[in-house]
Amino acid sequence: MTQSGDANGKKRAARVAVVAAGVVSPLGFGLSETLDALRKARDCVTPVTRFSVTQCRCKTAGQVPDDRLLNKKRDTRAQRLHRASHMMIEALGEALAYEPQLKPELLVIGTTSGGMSYGEDYYRSLHRHRSLRHAPAWIANYPAQKPLIDAQEAFGISAPCQVIANACASGTNAIGHAFECVRSGRYQRVLTGGYDALSELVFVGFDSLQASTPEKCRPFDRHRTGMVLGEGAAILALENLDSAHARGARILAEITGYGVSTDNFHLTQPDPSGVGPRRAMERAIESTGTEALRLDYINAHGTATELNDAAEGKAISELFDGVPVSSTKSMMGHSLGAAGAVEAVVCLLALRHQFLPANINFRAPDEALDLNIVGNEARPAPLRTVMSNSFGFGGTNASIVMHKFET
């Protein structure tokens, strides 16, 4: 099944359904646990235990517990896999369990670091002249595509895969690219999402930039002092809506728009005018083909850094009047390449269960930002259309629009 035509014989874009999803993050394993954490506005940022942070300002992160992620993997091969591979296997497994008939033609996944911690082990051993007995496993697990390949092998999937590494916009870029692949009619079924695992090098790097906070993560708060890192993986199964209907699939939501832009302003800072985020959001709305689109909620990029929140907040307030906004990074940290994928699942759950996720640790509004922040507690709300934002280093900006499916 491909694109259909209108009365004049012109092709129209295919509609794109979300037919399954899977997630693992500091909020929990799977959609049910994630929903429970979101409804309770649970703070899932904890003291870092995976490596020493004694010389860092920031001491916390959103972490997926190893006792659940790794201990149930008994066979020798599984024990050799990187944590990122285990997270991808968990997320993909949930999605395929929900939609076992899905036969993907393509996988598009966003990430930033791959098996970075194994790369750290390898180079430390070289520098310190230690044994390289484990070097083959370290090197094999280092490439960014390895967790995706491991997940494919775990479930017998042989479809081609594409990896997008575009800073913190990677996960949303992956979903947007997959959306365009299906909407164009070139593909009927695409698995998409993102992953990233917490690594010492990245953690210390953000701490050195003084982008990380030694306090609570407070997006859009007047007294925000920086971000905390996180980790996770999420998968969404996208399908041509007509095809999904024809086979009787359960349609969870519809992706209707995708927009991108690039600031080209600074290596690590956004353009303070907010022009980059604004263009991405405008283009996502234009992509929907709806002239007067009403948004009911925005899941903001919201890292809680001074400059990021100011630029994004300015762009949102210029485009929208009073739309509810929250950054769920306040609950689970910033999972970099996985963030857009995990937050797309948050938007999916918000649409399915009709509530606004909370922006926790919010104490005082920033007087310079005219925003309707969903402060500290989730609340019920009728939602039809939501937006998810992801903005990264180098001015990479991406937004997607998701719509409640209505028969």
The more confidently predicted of residues 373 and 100 is 373
Longest dimension (CA), the chain: 72
pLDDT band, residue 328 (cuts 50/70/90): very high
For residue 274, how far is the Cα from the chain centroid?
Answer: 21
Is residue 228 packed enough to be buried (19+ CB in 10 Å), middle (13-18) or exposed (0-12)?
buried
Please check whether residue 356 is in contact with residue 350, taking contact to mean a CB–CB distance below 8 angstroms.
Answer: yes
What is the rounded distance in angstroms from the CA atom of residue 343 to the CA atom of residue 39? 15
The percent of residues above 90 in pLDDT, for the chain, comes to 78
* Predicted confidence (pLDDT) at residue 9 exceeds the cutoff of 70: no
Other C-beta atoms lying within 10 Å of the C-beta of residue 42: 16
259, β-bridge pairs: 399
Own/partner pairs, 347-350, CB within 8 angstroms, 24+ separation: 347/297, 347/299, 347/386, 347/387, 347/388, 347/402, 348/18, 348/21, 348/236, 348/252, 348/253, 348/402, 349/31, 349/34, 349/35, 349/38, 350/38, 350/297, 350/299, 350/383, 350/386
Give the pLDDT of residue 52. 94
Look up residue 192 and give its two tokens.
């998409």
Q: Name, in order, each residue with C-beta under 8 angstroms of 386's C-beta and a sequence gap of 6 or more.
A: 295, 296, 297, 298, 299, 347, 350, 351, 401, 402
- Residue spans per domain, the chain: 16-403
What is the rounded distance in angstroms from the CA atom of residue 20 to the CA atom of residue 405? 13
* Predicted confidence (pLDDT) at residue 6 exceeds the cutoff of 70: no
Lowest mean pLDDT among 8-17, 57-66, 211-220, 250-259: 8-17
Say what the pTM is. 0.93
Q: Is 334 a catalytic residue?
A: yes
168, β-bridge pairs: 166
Q: Which of 147, 145, 192 is nearest to 173 (CA)?
A: 192
**Mean pLDDT score, 252-281:** 90
**Mean pLDDT score, 210-220:** 96
385, β-bridge pairs: 403
CATH of domain 16-403: 3.40.47.10
At residue 398, φ and ψ (nearest 5 deg) are -145, 140
Q: Which of 44, 301, 347, 403 is catalytic?
A: 301
Give the tens place of pLDDT for each residue, 183-194: 999 999 999 999
For residue 51, how far is the Cα from the chain centroid?
Answer: 24
What is the rounded distance in angstroms from the CA atom of residue 172 to the CA atom of residue 189? 18
Q: Where are the beta strands (DSSP E) in 241-349?
A: 253-262, 297-299, 324-326
The more confidently predicted of residues 227 and 271 is 227
Give the pLDDT of residue 301. 97
pLDDT band, residue 270 (cuts 50/70/90): confident
* Separation of first and last alpha carbons in the chain: 20
Dihedral over alpha carbons 62, 67, 69, 73 (to 10 degrees): 160
Look up residue 322 and give its two tokens.
């009073």
Give the tens place of pLDDT for each residue, 134-166: 788 778 877 889 999 999 999 999 999 999 999
What is the rounded distance in angstroms from the CA atom of residue 143 to the CA atom of residue 115? 6
Give the pLDDT of residue 287. 95
* Predicted confidence (pLDDT) at residue 72 exceeds the cutoff of 70: no
Q: Which of 44, 58, 168, 217 is catalytic?
A: 168
Helix (H, G, I), strand (E, B) or coil at 240: strand
Q: Where are the beta strands (DSSP E) in 26-122?
A: 28-29, 45-47, 60-62, 106-110
Task: Write the single-letter amino acid at 48.
Answer: V
Q: Which of 86, 177, 334, 403 is catalytic?
A: 334
What is the rounded distance in angstroms from the CA atom of residue 74 to the CA atom of residue 200? 26
* Predicted confidence (pLDDT) at residue 1 exceeds the cutoff of 50: no
Dihedral over alpha carbons 78, 83, 86, 88 (to 10 degrees): -140
Q: Is 181 a catalytic residue?
A: no
Give the tens place of pLDDT for each residue, 107-137: 999 999 876 777 788 778 877 877 887 788 7
The more confidently predicted of residues 290 and 310 is 310
Give the tens place of pLDDT for each residue, 347-387: 999 999 999 999 999 999 999 999 999 999 999 999 999 99
* Predicted confidence (pLDDT) at residue 74 exceeds the cutoff of 60: no
